[in-house]
A and B are shown apart, each in its own frame.
Chain A
Amino acid sequence: MMDNVGGSSSNIAENSGIIREQDRLLPIANVGKIMKQILPPNAKISKESKETMQECVSEFISFVTSEASEKCRKERRKTVNGDDICWALGSLGFDDYAEPLRRYLQRYREQELDRANNPPKRG
């Protein structure tokens, strides 16, 4: 909810309450690169395909985030963290995605902890 409020206030300050395209959707070049990873090297992707996938993935992100945000609202918390996202995926029926994401989150936190304990040397 805090992120949404910040986003809306910045939009109001800049464009009088209009949500810009680059704020609502993922960058189309990045979407194209991710789509290209799974395809053979000589495959081509039309712009219509990228735009359609751009809409789908952006809506999916809003869908999962909305579920996590609702849980935080009920528990009167302001910060949506990784555990809330994993819970939201499980709550919406995407159990096959929740488990790999939980393991990824655990590994990510371990890396962050190692980085905090061993700061890079300044030479």
Chain B
Amino acid sequence: MQTVYLKEHEGNAHNFVGTLSSAASAPWWSAFGSQSVHQGESCGQVKPFSLELPNCIDQLAATKPLARGADQVLGKGHITQFTIFPDDCKMSDDAQKLQTTMSLQSSLTDPQSRFEIGFSLPTICAKYPYTDQFYGLFSAYAPQISGRIMLPLNMTSDDEPIYVNAKQYHGIIRRRQSRAKAVLDHKLTKRRKPYMHESRHLHAMRRPRGCGGRFLNTKNSVDGNGKIGNEVHKTVGEQLQSSGSQSSEFLQSEVGTFNSSKETNGSSPNISGSEVTSMYSRGGLDSFSLNHLGSAVHSFADMIDGGRGMIIPTKWVAAAGNCCNLKV
């Protein structure tokens, strides 16, 4: 019994020095008898040394620089106390148990680290449901015999691992790096521009729009005809003012009214309305005999007949309203 304990302490002494020999470590792990090969691969030399340090610190409650000297003293102390007190053996057993639990935890993390290191590990059976991503991922449209490759977890926005076509893996990784580089260089503008040219946008905002928001194309010509009618109205007014007031001219204007009322053009009602308005106002100003009043009544009757025969536009109705007001 005493000789076995002495060997264990010698192993600890080797750990303190920092040099581990295979002959010394093999019997140490074989004493526990639980997956010695796996633990040997997973645990390095630094881990048990760091694990033992807090135990020493807990025992002595000393600072880090003093811990090294304390370790040496403890090493010697363990040897001396071992021969005298058997309780120290129990404490050393607890420390070794902690080491085994830590090594088990480190062994649990090894598969994840292997997955992280080896991106190109092929896995034929997909355990997770396949989820399509909107941006940058192209799923295979046909089943592939060669299997699928899992993308690295830290690069995906989702928490679930994504399996993609093995042929497309390198392309996807390359494209992701290109996009990340573009984002880092601030070359990509994520928000979309409503328009590309300021001047074209301003021009479009100035264009007239109809009901529903569409641009006016056919109605623009109608407005143009309206303008032409206004010009004719001005011309006719000037002619009437320049000429003298004679009954023959009134008769000619009445004939003109008949001709314009018969036509079905859009501009003709505007012309006839303006002529009637100017004639009536001129008649009121001159205040001639009954013959002129009779001619005025005739013109009004002709206007009513013309209105019934045609679809009354807005301006014609306005002209009729003006005539009624003038009478009153």
**A109 CB-CB contact with B under 8 Å:** no
Given A92-B138, A96-B142: 10 more A-B contacts, CB < 8 Å: A11-B187, A17-B187, A18-B187, A21-B189, A22-B196, A59-B175, A63-B138, A63-B175, A67-B171, A93-B142
**A36 CB-CB contact with B under 8 Å:** no
Alpha-carbon gap, A63 to B167, bound state (A): 12
Q: Are B135 and A92 in contact (CB under 8 A)?
A: no
Question: With A93-B165, A96-B141 known to touch, is A66 a contact of B171 (CB < 8 Å)?
Answer: yes
Q: Are B142 and A66 in contact (CB under 8 A)?
A: no
**A19 CB-CB contact with B under 8 Å:** yes
Contact of A70 among B174, B188, B192 (CB under 8 A): B174
A residues with a Cβ closer than 8 A to B are: 11, 17-22, 24, 51-52, 55, 59-60, 62-63, 66-67, 70, 91-96
Contact of B185 among A17, A59, A91, A96 (CB under 8 A): A17
Alpha-carbon gap, A42 to B168, bound state (A): 38
Alpha-carbon gap, A66 to B144, bound state (A): 22
Number of CB contacts from chain A to chain B under 8 A: 54
In the complex, residue of chain A having the shortest beta-carbon distance to the beta carbon of B196: A22
In the complex, residue of chain B having the shortest beta-carbon distance to the beta carbon of A55: B135
**B208 CB-CB contact with A under 8 Å:** no
**B140 CB-CB contact with A under 8 Å:** yes
Q: Are A66 and B178 in contact (CB under 8 A)?
A: yes
Alpha-carbon gap, A62 to B174, bound state (A): 11
Q: Smallest CB–CB gap between A25 and chain B, Å?
A: 9
